Structure formats: structure tokens, C-alpha cells
Amino acid sequence: MVTITRKNTTVSVAPEPPGLYSHIGYLHKLFQSKDEEWKALGQSSAGIFTTLPGFFHRIVTWLDGRNIPYEVVDKRKARILDTTQIDIESQRETGKLLIEGLNKKENGIIVGPCGVGKTHVIKAILESQNDTTLITTDDIGAATQLFDDLTKLLPHKKIGIWCSRKRTKPEKILITTNESIKAVDTNSIFEKAGLTLAKYNTWIADEVHTLPTPAILPYLAKIKANIRIGLTATLQRKDGAHLLLEGYFGPVLSTLSHSEGVEMGGVAPVNVCIFPVPYINSECRRLPADCTDWRITAYGMVHYRPLHHLITSIHNLLPKDGGHIIFAEWAKYCEILKKQIPGSESLHTKKGPAAVNQIKERIKSGNLQCVIATDLIQKSFNAPSIKYITMAALGSSAEKIQRAGRATRILEGKTNAQVHDFLHLQHPILFQASIKMLKVYEDLGWKPKIMAEAKDLISGGAQLGEHAQKLLQLEKYCIC
């Protein structure tokens, strides 16, 4: 018989069964660090194995699979979260499942598409308690947007924010970025207010998949929160570090697909149109086939005029029944496209905070038909009037899904969101990225369509070398 002891910040097993450390320990090796607290995330000493609290369920599953008997000793502090005060019927499905988990004293992660109402889940948690709460998110834009939304939704709550762009005095409810977590731990202003990382009893991590980086991990161990909730639209990471999040927050409490969100009436359905970008030899002379550095983006997209003309044509053909965001790579790219699209506006950090906020308000009010933006409004930006998204920037599948999410908010009269992406034929590396993203869209149930005839597509890929044969596999996506 082994004993599993659950505490707020750890779970331990004694005596340690052979093989348990190797089963859980590999997760801690995803990142290497010399920090002692990081090394302590998975300890095996004197016959006792101690690790992060969220791995409790993984440990139990492992023991059950080997028919090893165990008892559970729960030493976690009593919760002060009163979910009975939340109007469950008014919550969307994500909120209902979260509340069920919290009532069972279980922390965890909620995975749901952009626009499904994760901000309202945070609001529900804050309404159900009056305790210290740390809310983390991945960048400054998301933090300020969340601060603005929550202060409007909860005017009776004192909410603070601490990031490089905006700072208030420390409050019991604090919003910060992942990079600013260490400032909360080391800045004397928090220590004087008695609000260091260890003092926050509830931890809500928005965009939780962005947390596991070597610079941040040592500080996460200092958070002693009893209640831990992670929220994200895309949990998976290429490096496998999403598994480590289970240790901090617990297992996935609920997963809501985009199609399920559509059926619930929570998000708009998405149509994906893929436009082939032609290979023009004179335009690609600065982009050798073996090029693998930043020039792929610079000369394959930012300075590639056929793509600019295609983006302009797409915008000019769109009906004026919704706003249009064109996501571009850099500020310079935004300005190039702005000159080609009359009446459009560019949005990037070089504009300055006042101008950025003014443009954001114009987008939200529906008074700006087209904006060419960097990643400033890629996440946590709510403007239901936006209907069209054009991917003029490269990016990971997670980033593109986030961008598409700017158009999935429900609005009366909006029947669908439309995403425009590109099949890049001008360079093999860009082409491979396009193929991968096409499959991601298909897996999401967004039914991507290539806006070209199959014969024209195949004839336009001679410069792709050995990759050209992959064009034959794309015939099923072509419009005819």
C-alpha cells in the first residue's frame, strides 16, 4: 500500500513504486535549468517521490494500470471559492464544466475556441470569491485588453495591472504578463503591499500554453495558489511542454471544439479560402531556393509584389458587410499594404499608445472597414463587427488560429467568418508551411478551399522541385 499525499503545491508518493520517477520525471526534463526550485519539481529522495500537484491524476492512473493499491491523504487547504453564487444557467458550456470541476476541488485547464467566452469564465470565478487572484497572460496587448474588459464587467472589484506599458498600484486581483511575473516577485512595491507571488490564493492563466519557457519556469514554482485554472484555445506545443502544464494546473477539464461552439451558438462558422501565390521569376531573384533565414519572410512576402496585388484584389472584392483585418509581419509591411488599399489604416507599436487605442476603438465601433495590423490585436481583441481575416503574415498554426478568432465573435446578421490564407508557390519552405496549415484548417472542420483549378495549380509549381508532386494531393481542395 502506497500513500499519496496531496498539498496545495505538491503531491508526494511514499513509498515510491519502482518506475514512477521515470514516468513523471521525463516531463521535468523538457527544459534544463540550474535553478534549485526548478530541479525540485520532481524529487526522488528517501523513498518518497514529490512532484507538481497537477500530476496527481497521472500518478493515480499509473498506479491503477499496475494494480498497485494506494490511499489518498488530502492536506489541501479549504477553498473559499463559492461556486453556488454563480448563475450556472447563464454560463456557456465551458463555464458549466469548469464550475463542476471546481466544486470537486479540482484544478485544471479549459480548451475552447476563440470567442467562446473565456473572459466571462474569469469573471465568474472572480465573482465567486473575494480573495487574492493572480491573472497571467502572454503579452501586453492581451493583458491591457483583459484589464479593460474586467474593469467594465466588474466595476465593484479593485483590479490592478502590472506590465511594461501599464501599471497600477498592487491590488488583490492583479493582471500581469508572463514576462512580468518575475517583477511581481522581485519588485519592492509588491512586497510592501504584502502581495508577492506566494500570497495569491487563486491563479488564472489565460493563453496557458505560452507559459513553459525557461525564463519563467523558476518563478512559477513560487506561486502557491490553491485554485489554479488554465485557459487556452490551443493547448498543444511542438516541444511537448504542454504536458508540463498539467503539473501546474491539473488535467484538461473540458475541451470544446469550434464546431461544437458553432452548434451552441457561441461562435460563428468559418470559411477558409486559400489563394495560390504565383511564382514570378523576376520577383524571386533575391530568394534562392536554399534560403532558410529571415529573407524568406522579407523577400518572399514583405517585398513580394504579386502577393501585395493579390491581397489588394481580395479586399476590393469583399462585400462591405463586415470589417477586415489583414495581419502583416512587420510595421513596414503594414505601411506598404496601407498605401495600396485606400481608406485602410495600419496598426503597430510604432504608432504610439494613444494612436493604437484610437484605432482599436474605431475597429470595435465598426467605423474602420480595413486595418492592416501586426500581432497587436492577434489575441484577446474583441470586435464582433470583424468578419474577414487575411493572413499576410507567416506564423505557427496556433498564431493563425488566434488571428482567425478575431472574426468568430457572434453578431446579429453575421452568418459566418471568412479567413483568407495563401498557398505560397514562390519558395519551397513557404510552400511546405502552406501545406501544413491547410491540414490544420481541415482538422478544425473549417473545410478549406483552394481558389484555383487543379490544372492551373499543378502547372504553376515547377519551381518547387521535389515538393511539386505534393500539388497532386491538393486537387481535392480545389474549387474545380
Tell me 294's DSSP state: T
pLDDT in tens, 116-158: 777 877 888 888 778 899 999 988 878 888 898 899 988 988 8
pLDDT in tens, 416-454: 999 999 998 888 888 888 998 998 898 888 889 999 887
204-207-210 Cα angle (round to 5): 110
Query: In the chain, what percentage of residues exceed pLDDT 90?
Result: 26
d(CA 31, CA 241): 8
> Do the domains 83-261 and 268-477 sit in the same CATH topology, yes or no?
yes
Written as one string, the DSSP assignment of 203-223 is EEEETGGG---TTTHHHHTT-
Q: Write down the pTM of the prediction.
A: 0.79
Written as one string, the DSSP assignment of 168-207 is ----SEEEEETTTHHHHHH-HHHHHHT--GGG-SEEEEET
Residue 104 banded pLDDT, cuts 50, 70, 90: low
Give the pLDDT confidence score for residue 370 in this predicted structure.
96
- CATH code of 268-477, in short, is 3.40.50.300
Give the pLDDT confidence score for residue 83 in this predicted structure.
63
| Mean pLDDT, all residues of the chain | 83
Give the residue from 336, 259, 173, 250 showing the smallest Cα distance to 11. 250
Listed by start position, the domains of the chain span 2-74, 83-261, 268-477
Give the pLDDT confidence score for residue 278 in this predicted structure.
84
* 348 pLDDT above the threshold of 60: yes
Q: Which fold has domain 83-261?
A: Rossmann fold (3.40.50)
Give the residue from 51, 99, 60, 68 showing the smallest Cα distance to 1. 68
Give the pLDDT confidence score for residue 456 in this predicted structure.
78
Give the pLDDT confidence score for residue 82 in this predicted structure.
62
Give the residue from 172, 186, 223 showing the smallest Cα distance to 9. 223
Give the pLDDT confidence score for residue 80 in this predicted structure.
62
